Chains A and B, each alone.
Chain A
Amino acid sequence: MASNNTRPDAPLPANQSADYGYALKEAMYAGLITLGMFVLFIGLKTDQNIRNELILVPRWGLLAIFVIIAAVGRFAYIAWLGPAMASGKAAKSRKVVSTEKSFLAQHWTKLAIVFLFLYPALVGGSLKWVDNFGIQILIYVMLAWGLNIVVGLAGLLDLGYVAFYAVGAYSYALLSEHLGLSFWLLLPMAGILSAMWGIILGFPVLRLRGDYLAIVTLAFGEIIRLVLINWTEVTKGTFGISSIKKADFFGWFTFNIADPNYIGKVFDIAPSGTYYKIFLYYLILLLALLTAFVTLRLRKMPIGRAWEALREDEVACRSLGINTTNTKLTAFATGAMFGGFAGSFFAARQGFVSPESFIFLESAVILAIVVLGGMGSLTGIAIAAVVMIGGTEILRELTFLKAIFGEGFTPELYRMLLFGVAMVMVMIWKPRGFVGNRTPTAFLFERKEVSGSFTTEGHG
């Protein structure tokens, strides 16, 4: 290390530092290959003329653009980008890892939380940014943190997590409709009901592992959805339940303009729908933070360590006297409970629930967030949720692509494609997710991160 420090940059290999002749040759090859590949696809287009005859429309200009892009791109890569990347890599390997963490690295969780609390003010209460981005992302953060307990910590692959989300949402919708109870009473009840369903699911699948567990949980998710569709007397089937009561502020004021204690009347301000959105934003933020807090606390408790031990090696767990049945059930129940909280929040936010909202794709997205974030890491999962949910939202606004591909181009159709490509790339670069390292829950001398290569994903 020390000798490396004193030495200045090692000279780069000669052929890497801008060998333009070589780059030119490579660019020519790339251009030729592109020409060969695209001459029939792009260069010629078959069309019908006015007499319904098939004619060939040459598009040499467009073909030329493709060839030039390929050639220039290849030239830039060989001549500048490649050497730059190589020297960057070399510099990185020489860099001494500083043991002193920067202020940002030390306090960034607190900074992030402060930012989240100020967020509605920062975006000026803009409905799009608070509702479509803020609330939407936070719901998924919370769901993914809940699923993280089951998948990331206990290593039980659950493909039907959305079922608990559905149970929570319908619990709130039905109980508030029939019993007229308030949101604050129904929120914990929805959590408890979901946890109960978690245990009911847990019992039969305890002896299953890995793929088999995944299949059964997938089936469970579908069963819940089909029950919601077909049990029409209670759930109104595919019509769903509408005009669900809004959440109120502990009975102090409500967000229903008809109520005598509507927020506008209590504070004597102009009526607006924004208040409710901002209230919901803070509500889901607090719920998500509660999930994170409980997860962090549980990780340091014996039960949390047992979950992680279960993921690492179930047989060894039993040899240490750990009741793996109870351990799995608590993982299922705790994860399901947070799904239920999120579900009742969802119902209060939408004012409408139907089985359409709880399809398998939702489970898959939540699981993808957990895996992409790095199993077990709360930070990674939060980042992944921002990327996945915020990313798909922001890709709706690809209007600048119209400038390139012409007015007829509809960028919205390509967002899922771009999104898939982005996910594949993330998994290639970071196969363990954004944050692959595991933070130990206890230490004797110093807290060292455990590299992702040692942890296991669990076998069910």
Chain B
Amino acid sequence: MTLHNIKLTVNGLPVEAAVDDRLTLADFLRHQLNLTGTHIGCEHGVCGACTILVDNVSARSCLMLAVQTDGLAVRTVEGLQATDGTLHPLQAAFRDNHGLQCGYCTPGMLMTLVEFLGENPQPSAADVREAISGNLCRCTGYQRIVESALDAAKRLNEQEP
């Protein structure tokens, strides 16, 4: 076992850490940085619960090693809300539309949708369903999640100008 020194930013803040060879990014975020908002489900890239952004694109944090993020910018669900605690429009839309039940899949859904809505400001329900096809939810039947995403798109568009 070797420890590797890494420097990265997490939610815009600089982080320096020493990480083991085989530490996954998901475990690094949760256990070493105490950012437990990123959830771990299957740990083999199927459920999408651990989705985060690496250099602004979505990725499964269970399928990356912490050591690979040296020099990169990581964004987690904790980085969505404003510094004063105001919810991101996507989070507010999930709250208002009952977009979550147990909440386990929610961080992954949010991080997937942040990227998706950034590229597709006016999606159809079918587009949203395809976008979240890599995120499993066992509570909601997805209906409320799709409604939340469409509402979030509307809110983000109103916010634009």
Partners in one complex: no
Interface residues of A (CB under 8 A from B): none
